[in-house]
Amino acid sequence: MSINATEFTDIDPGERILMGPGPSNVPARVLQAMSAPCIGHLDPYFLSIMDETQRLLRFLFQTENDLTIPVSGTGSSGMETCFINLVEPGEEVVVCINGVFGTRMADIVNRVGGELIEIHGQWGRAIDPEAVRKAVKGRSPKIVAVVHAETSTGVCQPLRDIANIAREAGALFLVDMVTSLGGMEISVDNMGIDAAYSGTQKCISCPPGLAPISFSSAAMKALNTRKTPVPSWYLDMSMVKSYWGADRKYHHTAPINMIYALREALRIIAEEGLKERFARHLLNHRALVAGLEAMGLSMLVPETERLPMLNAVCIPEGVDDVKVRRALLNDFGIEIGGGLGDLQGKIWRVGLMGHSSTRKNVLLFLTALETVLKAEGIKVSPGALEAVSAVYS
Ligand SMILES: *Cc1c(COP(=O)(O)O)cnc(C)c1O
């Protein structure tokens, strides 16, 4: 079989404004760091980059945990890493489900042979801690698992009460921080979290491809005292930790240039400061919501349970979901997300994550949406930009 190489042109996707559920826009500095020379994965220079990346990740997770590393794979590989290392066949695992990512956790627990105890909550609302208390009563589950920021619905799950319930039940507390890490207050150590995972392409604003994870000493003990081997060779943290730790024992070749990118993205976060970064996410979220509500649109999630980085907007009656999103992309270069599962066609998911969370993007998006809705013949109340200005001033 032969091909004509001239058919294949240079890759040139053009500019996009990424305001969906991830990836977010990647700063030029991060892309530049990725293009540094690829060197050996045991090269002393690269080993120092690995050490710095771990230090920066501990800062971001707010933890002293020794095992705090980026797993080679996207956010879902971080999810799988947590369950596959910490659950043995027949052990009880409580999973809180109020969206797509809780559902994915439950799927993984079943695959690793855990005894799944599901707690279902309404999509678009946080899980009531009392439901967790009831579910663990009279049991001693190995793990209680929740999604901190449910990207499919825009709901923020308060962690404190569930962390206490997990601790009283003698369970490890496992938290999905894929969307929340880098965009809102998180402290793995202060919040009593035993296993946390994230992804690089949401509020960290690095391309997708790595899953930062952190295991507490209790989680490490559970791993070290397993009766059965971890059923995944690739994601077995008892081996991977020897590569990231002092032993430098070869396990798999680290994705060198992705780790350059993550280190640069984390360095940018450290330069901005966590408090400043979280305040920026909150302010731009409040401005966006003020603008949307002034236009006559409404949010899916009640105010007290909303995420600052992912906004679920109810699609008004009679509006063509796909047509609006296509117009935003074609005419303005703006990507937003549609709804998943039962929420398909019912909501838009507007992300303000990391580098994409800017005043400029908020104003551009509201202007673009107003233009597109009007072109569709939808009545839009005036005053969005005034409402936004009031938030910023
Ligand atoms: C995006 C996301 C994931 C999955 O991450 P991938 O990088 O797509 O594998 C898991 N959990 C949550 C909450 C997410 O938003």
Chain CA centroid to CA 331, Å = 28
Helix (H) or strand (E) holding 181: none
d(CA 169, CA 70): 29
pLDDT-derived band at 3, boundaries 50, 70, 90:
very high
Q: Tell me, yes or no, whether 110 lies in a domain.
A: yes
Measured between alpha carbons, how far is 78 from 198 in angstroms, rounded to an integer? 7
Residue 172 confidence (pLDDT): 98
For ligand 1, say whether the CB of 74 is within 6 Å of any of its atoms: yes
- Residue 377: exposed, middle, or buried by beta-carbon count in 10 A (0-12, 13-18, 19+)? exposed
Which residues have C-beta within 8 Å of that of residue 204, sequence separation ≥ 6?
60, 181, 182, 198, 212, 262, 265, 266, 269, 354
Structural domain contains residue 1: no
User: Which residue segment(s) compose the domain that 283 sits in?
Assistant: 274-392
- 16 in a domain, yes or no? no
The reply to whether 381 falls in a domain is: yes
For ligand 1, atom 14, which residue shows the shortest CA distance? 178
- The answer to whether 69 touches 51, Cβ cutoff 8 Å, is no
Considering the domain architecture, whether residues 252 and 331 belong to the same structural domain is answered as no
Q: How far apart are the first and last CA of the chain?
A: 64
CB atoms within 10 A of CB 368: 20
* 283 is a domain residue: yes
CATH number at residue 214: 3.40.640.10
Ligand 1 centroid – CA 392 distance (Å): 31
231-280 pLDDT tens trace: 999 999 999 999 999 999 999 999 999 999 999 999 999 999 999 999 99
Q: What is the atom index within ligand 1 of the atom nearest the CA of 148?
A: 13
pTM of the shown model: 0.97
Taken in order 178, 183, 187, 191, is the CA torsion positive or negative? Answer: negative
Residues above pLDDT 70, as percent of the chain: 100
208 and 349 together in one domain = no
> For the segment 90-144, what is each residue's pLDDT rounded down to a tens digit?
999 999 999 999 999 999 999 999 999 999 999 999 999 999 999 999 999 999 9
How far apart CA 264 and CA 53 sit, in angstroms, is 9
Domain boundary among 236, 255, 271: 271
| Ligand 1 mutation pick, 83, 178, 184, max ligand atoms within 8 A of CB | 178
Considering the domain boundaries, does residue 5 fall inside one? no
DSSP code of residue 222: H
Per DSSP, what are the bridge partners of residue 149?
156
Cis previous bond, 141, omega within 30:
no
Q: What is d(CA 21, CA 208) in angstroms, rounded to the nearest whole number?
A: 12
Instruction: Flag whether 288 is in a domain.
Output: yes
Report angle CA 184, 190, 193 to the nearest 5 degrees.
85
Domain identity same for 235 and 341: no
Report the residue among 72, 81, 96, 101 best suited for mutation to probe ligand 1: largest number of ligand atoms under 8 A from its CB: 101
Same domain for 281 and 258: no
Note the pLDDT tens digit of each residue in 215-237.
999 999 999 999 999 999 999 99
Structural domain includes residue 10: no
Do 77 and 210 reside in the same domain of the chain?
A: yes
Total of domains in the chain: 2
